Amino acid sequence: MERRNSLATGRFLITLLLLLTLARPLHAQDAAGAYTVAPGDTLGAIATKFGVPLDALIVANAIDDPNRIRVGQVLVIPNADGSLPVAALAATTATGVVRAAAGDTLATLAARYALDPALVAELNGAPGTRRLFPGQPVRVPADVVPPMTVTLGAITALDAPAEIVQGRTGRVDVISSRPLNLIGRWNGQPLTFIPLGEDGLHHFAFVPVDALLEPSVYPLEIGYITARGVEIVRSWPVTVVAGPYDYQEIVVAQEKADVLTPDVVVAERERVVAIWSQISPTLWWRDVFQRPISVDYPTTSPFGTRRTYSVADIGNFHAGQDFGAPEGTLIFAPAPGVVVLAEPLAVRGNAVIIDHGQGVFTGYWHMSEMKVTPGTRVETGDVLGLVGNTGLSTGAHLHWELRIDGVAVDPMQFLDEAPF
């Protein structure tokens, strides 16, 4: 009798487990608002599988070419009406930080900033009824966070970013009551302050973020040295957010690979680093950059793409923006500056580097022909050279690079945003 009861109990538990398993959604990833692409998948098939509009699926994932998705790629699955699920929206929302007031809950704070309380709750991993202590940091969408304005001694106003995306460039504005010997440090490197007026009371600094800097919170230190030599410095947290970068493997022809010995690669790297690590006193440009090549030629490999090469250890991400163009296409200066390098290199091919002043440099690689020489002063639109396929290149194109204080950053940002 005891044995029968035991068998009956076992059958009941197995049946219950099967029922619970069958009761789960057919696609467990659907509940999480995401789906991992499997072999044989197409966007159309995935849209049909989850019952969502194909256009909404493409927009939700910022897909440029609907015919090119890869196995293992994680897609956000929108709702049936095309909107994003709260969890997916939170996962793709750039965030900043605000401080709670006395008596706040996540729900009351969301109401004060006119935000969706469910989104704020999801961003902070807590229910909307969670009570907050005064001054507690709360994550909210970055576009509702006002610039961080503070004062520090003779610094009467300081605007600094709360958040910067990997590979992008932040900006700091400092206004003081008298001329100061300003100092700034970011990720272990000094900032270069640029005067924006003749009275010495308004300064500006770029905050370049390496494309491989781990997403986290880092201290931004700003201050000045007093007449007595005392440092007055304060630190503010800046969140580095992951960039939207893909992966790419570069296969190089063997005849080009044969010349790329470790000694050659290292020597060339040291040569260019020595150039763009300098800080020249004159700022040559003030306006938005112009495109260095005609708009007829599209991007073939964007900045920040994680890369592996079939030969040579020459870096693990794409430090510039590539534009595919026929050999002989004109290359133009995007802004005023001084040519500080124009010579053939093993990896970069025929290369030109322009110093735009105050630690800002642009580079142009793989040219078929260089039209400038070191020491030449160039203006916006001047011809620098012609597109080619020299150096470590798999086809004719222009590689355009931007370095700020030695850090490679996305040059396309400077086509869209005024620098000062």
pLDDT of residue 21: 36
Residue 74 or 32, more confident: 74
Intrachain domains 26-88 and 96-144 with the same fold: yes
Please tell me which of 32-36, 130-134, 152-156, 282-286 the model is most confident about, judged by mean pLDDT: 282-286
* DSSP codes of every residue in 164-206: EETT-EEEEEEEESS--EEEEEETTEE--EEE-STTS-EEEEE
Q: What is the CA radius of gyration of the chain?
A: 27
pLDDT for the residue numbered 100: 72
The pLDDT of residue 93 is 64
pLDDT tens, residue by residue, 382-394: 999 999 999 988 8
pLDDT at 313 > cutoff 60: no
Region at 10 (left for phi over 0; alpha for psi -120 to 50; beta for the rest): alpha
Asked whether residue 29 carries a pLDDT value surpassing 90, the answer given is: no
- The type of residue at 296 is D
pLDDT at 85 (0 to 100): 65
- DSSP letters, 311-334, are SS---SB--EEEEE--TT-EEE-S
Report whether 7 contacts 49 (CB < 8 A).
no
Looking only at the bridges linking them, the beta strands covering 74-76 and 95-99 are unpaired
4: pLDDT strictly greater than 60 = no
Q: Tell me: pLDDT of 334 over 50.
A: yes
pLDDT at position 151:
66
Per-residue pLDDT averaged across 20-24, rounded? 36
pLDDT recorded at residue 16: 39
**Which H/E stretch holds residue 342?**
strand 337-345
Going by pLDDT thresholds of 50, 70 and 90, the confidence category of residue 18 is: very low
Using one digit for the tens of pLDDT, what is the confidence trace for 7-17? Answer: 444 444 334 33
- Per-residue pLDDT tens for 68-99? 788 778 787 877 766 666 666 666 666 677 77
Arithmetic mean of pLDDT, 312-336: 88
Average the pLDDT over each of 46-60, 201-215, 240-254, 338-352 and give the range with the smallest value.
Answer: 240-254
pLDDT at 181 over 90: yes
pLDDT at 44 over 90: no
Of the candidates 331, 284, 312, 302, the residue with the CA atom closest to the CA atom of residue 408 = 302
Number of H helices, E strands in the chain: 10, 27
Q: Pairing between strand 231-241 and 163-165? A: parallel
**If you average pLDDT over residues 221-245, what whole number do you get?**
88
Query: Per CATH, which fold does 96-144 belong to?
Result: Membrane-bound Lytic Murein Transglycosylase D; Chain A (3.10.350)
Position with higher pLDDT, 32 vs 413: 413
Q: What is the pLDDT of residue 279?
A: 94
Q: Is the pLDDT of residue 25 over 70?
A: no
Determine contact, residues 314/347, Cβ cutoff 8 Å: yes
Supply the pLDDT for residue 142. 72
Average pLDDT over residues 201-222: 93
Among 32-41, 43-52, 404-413, the least confident range: 32-41
Domain range summary for the chain, segments of one domain joined by +: 26-88, 96-144, 148-241, 247-416
Count CB atoms within 10 A of the CB of residue 403.
25
Report pLDDT digits (tens) over 104-121. 788 888 877 778 888 888
Is it the case that residue 162 has pLDDT exceeding 70?
A: yes
Average confidence (pLDDT) over 132-141: 76
CATH number of 247-416: 2.70.70.10
d(CA 409, CA 416): 14
**CATH number of the domain located at residue range(s) 26-88 in this protein:** 3.10.350.10
CATH number of 148-241: 2.60.40.10
For residue 128, pLDDT over 70 is answered with yes
